[in-house]
Amino acid sequence: MKRNAIVLAIVILAVTFMLFMGRRMAGPPQSGGVKGSTLVGEVRGQQAPDFELKALDGRTIRLSDYRGKAVVLNFWATWCGPCKIEMPWFEELQKQYEGQGLVVIGVAMDDSRDDVQKFVQEIGVHYTIVMGREAVADAFGGVQFLPGTFYIDRNGKIVERVFGLAGHGDIEENIKRSLAQGAAPVNASTPAPEASKPQEATTGEVKPQEAKP
């Protein structure tokens, strides 16, 4: 009985030591430059977590930098077959709607930057591609399947989340919804709305009142 207790104690100590060494070798957890709360449950209407990731061209990309624009955030990988189908559509729709404030950001979940760079050149994609991190995917509630796409409105709130391959028409519809929601940037050249103009009376002989001295 005493011998069994000693053996059990040795096993517990060995397991504890291995866990301790494993954590030390793994180093401190990486946040991936994520700011804000992790998405939980129904993500529609929630504020998209901000992040800071490096683009293939060396730029530092922050989601918050695109406030005032609609953002399509697409998690993908070079080995993902459906991703290869969607990406040319994103390229096409970015060109079509960028004048209205659309930005497409592709988050590559590959380990090799060189593989991603080569793939992007071969497929002919010119929108922003960043090297992703698991911490960023986790902040968005976890990306269980690729592709995983988040449609974000001008205020940074999530309009829609789609996992797997979506049709061209569905993608365009979600883009239109994202562009329509949230506050658009103020443009001095934008004409005043009709409601601000004096309205003419349609019935009777009602006249505007004169200011009294």
The answer as to whether 75 is a domain residue is yes
* pLDDT tens, residue by residue, 122-133: 999 999 999 999
* pLDDT tens, residue by residue, 99-127: 999 999 999 999 999 999 999 999 999 99
User: Looking at this protein, which amino acid is placed at residue 189?
Assistant: S
The answer as to whether 210 is a domain residue is no
CA distance 91 to 88: 5
* Residue 143 pLDDT: 86
* Residue 90 pLDDT: 98
Query: Which pTM does this prediction carry?
Result: 0.70
The answer as to whether 176 is a domain residue is yes
Provide the 3-class DSSP secondary structure of residue 189. Answer: coil
Question: Quick one: which H or E segment has residue 159?
Answer: strand 158-163
CA distance 148 to 111: 17
Which CATH number fits the domain that encloses residue 146? 3.40.30.10
Q: How many structural domains compose the chain? A: 1
Long-range contacts at 16-19 (CB < 8 A, ≥ 24 apart): none
The answer as to whether 15 is a domain residue is no
Structure tokens given for 183: 């506050």
The boundaries of the domain holding residue 87 are 52-180
